[in-house]
Structure 1
Amino acid sequence: MYLSRFRINTARPGARRLLSSPQSLHAAVMSSFPHLLPTAPGGPGTPSEGPRVLWRLDHNASAEVFLYVVSPDRPDLTHLVEQAGWPAAAAADPDNPGWQTRPYATFLDRLAQDTTWAFRLTANPVHHIRRKDDEPTKRTAHLTPVHQMAWLLERQERCGFRICEKPDNKRLLPGGTTHNKAVHHGDRYELIVRDQRNLSFAKSRSDSTPGRRPVTLVAVTFDGRLHVTDPDLLRRTLTQGLGKAKAYGCGLMTLAPLPTADERSQ
């Protein structure tokens, strides 16, 4: 397994085209692996079990956008450098091709129970509802931060982790509840939801069929702290993804060490 990071040059027209279309970015990511044949997201050849190619965009600032890729094989992102990077700088420095790739398996193997990490996850929180008893259920996005947090909390144990809770002295609401005693997840847990994006695009770049409905989905980013409860389940989550719309930049969770006491005091 490999973890790769690529900084996107947002000033380039090619970058803007990729950032405006999850379908195009999916195709560009999959083109990084010579042995993989192009497939539509969710089509034949897309693995349902085992390690898979996952990707995520981190919008840290308007001019600082990073693409993260977790993959079973080492990617070749040369085409992305040419289209959406700094190709002249990469050509001038053979030791820096324009992206960074590191082996991921060593880190995954070191994950241990009862350790605590900072995490980031971009996901597509959905549920199934029916408006009438005689109609089939319909997949629908969660639209509020409280319901989006609840979606993640419902999945935490079977994904091998538990979201850390805030100490009582750091909660604004007594016991983490609202005035009507309903659980207020935003005050109880070390968890925030940000960067909600409502996406709508054609399923295929060449699909111009009149009347064909576009793909619509809601993507949000979770930042927080987690406690490892089952390393094997968490490794599966990190390599298979969490939730739906994985081909469109959702599902990739990454971990980072928590800052030390000295770092927090600086």
Structure 2
Amino acid sequence: MYLTRFRINTARADARRLLASPHRVHGAVNASFPEEPPRDGGGPRVLWRVDREANRRATLFVVSPGRPDLTHLVEQAGWPHADGPHWQSYGYAEFLDGLKADDRWAFRLTANPVHAARRKDGEPTKRTAHRTPAHQMGWLLKRQEALGFAVVEKPPERRMLKSGDELELLVRDHSPQSFGRGAAADEKNSVRFTRVTFEGRLRVTDPVALRKALTQGIGKEKAYGCGLLTLAPVVGAA
């Protein structure tokens, strides 16, 4: 397994065009491998996420069973004539194998929080996006045990509200996505979903389940930049 980081040059028109469509990014990520990565089955898969910062920086993260070659992305959306390296790929297996119960990590997850709903009795249920931060957080908290972690509680002195602020968890972004697949811009080839980014701190409860979440993704729309959970050392007091 590999974790790869690629900084996108947002000053380039081709880069901005790429970022405007998760379908284009999906294709560019798949083109990083000699054979198109499998999307089904129970094993590790290719996951990706674009993180955008307030300073207009954008970074592509990719988790994959094989090492990717991002030369085409450097030429399209990077700094092809600058001194390298143009991307960094790190062996991920040692990190995954080192996860232990009760370890604490800062985390970031971009996901597609949905639920099954019906407008009236007798109609079939339809996949529907959660709209509010409270329901979006609830979606993640409902799954945390099965995913092998528990979101950490805030110390009482750091809570800003009497209720609803007990956990180290926030919704950083709520972004409706709508784009077409292929040349035909009709309803059949359109994709619509809501992308949400969670940030917080977690405690590992089941290392095996967490490794699965880190390598197979969480939730729906994994092909379009959702599902990738990443961990980082906790900075500051717990």
Give the TM-score category using the shorter length: over 0.9
C-alpha displacement of 1:161: 0.1
Alignment partner for residue 190 of structure 1, among 149, 168, 192?
A: 168
2:190 is matched with which residue?
A: 214
1:231 is matched with which residue?
A: 207
Residues of 1 paired with 2:133 and 2:148: CA distance? Answer: 22
Taking structure 2 as the reference length, the TM-score comes to 0.95
2:147 is matched with which residue?
A: 159
C-alpha displacement of 1:130: 0.9
Alignment partner for residue 123 of structure 1, among 98, 108, 111?
A: 111
1:61 is matched with which residue?
A: 54
Structure 2, unaligned stretches of length 5 or more?
Answer: none
Amino acid across the alignment from 2:128: T
Does 2:182 correspond to 1:205? yes
Q: Is the 8 A contact 2:152 2:203 kept in 1?
A: yes
1:5 is matched with which residue?
A: 5
Question: What secondary structure, in the 3-state scheme, does the structure 1 residue paired with 2:182 have?
Answer: coil
Question: What secondary structure, in the 3-state scheme, does the structure 1 residue paired with 2:188 have?
Answer: coil
Query: Any residues of structure 2 matched to 1:21-170 within 5 Å, and which?
Result: 21-36=21-36, 45-89=38-82, 93=83, 96-170=84-158
1:179 is matched with which residue?
A: none
When the two chains are superposed, the root-mean-square deviation of aligned CA atoms in Å is: 1.5
Q: Is the 8 A contact 2:4 2:63 kept in 1?
A: yes
Amino acid across the alignment from 1:141: A
1:240 is matched with which residue?
A: 216
Moved more, 96-105 or 149-158: 96-105
Which protein has the larger Cα radius of gyration, Structure 1 or Structure 2? 1
Spell out structure 1 runs of 4+ moving beyond 3 A: none
Q: Is the 8 A contact 2:2 2:89 kept in 1?
A: yes
Q: Is the 8 A contact 2:169 2:201 kept in 1?
A: yes
Question: What secondary structure, in the 3-state scheme, does the structure 2 residue paired with 1:212 have?
Answer: helix
Structure 1, unaligned stretches of length 5 or more?
Answer: 38-44, 177-183
Amino acid across the alignment from 1:196: H
Does 2:225 correspond to 1:257? no
Count of aligned positions: 238
% identical aligned pairs:
61
Residues of 1 paired with 2:160 and 2:68: CA distance? Answer: 45
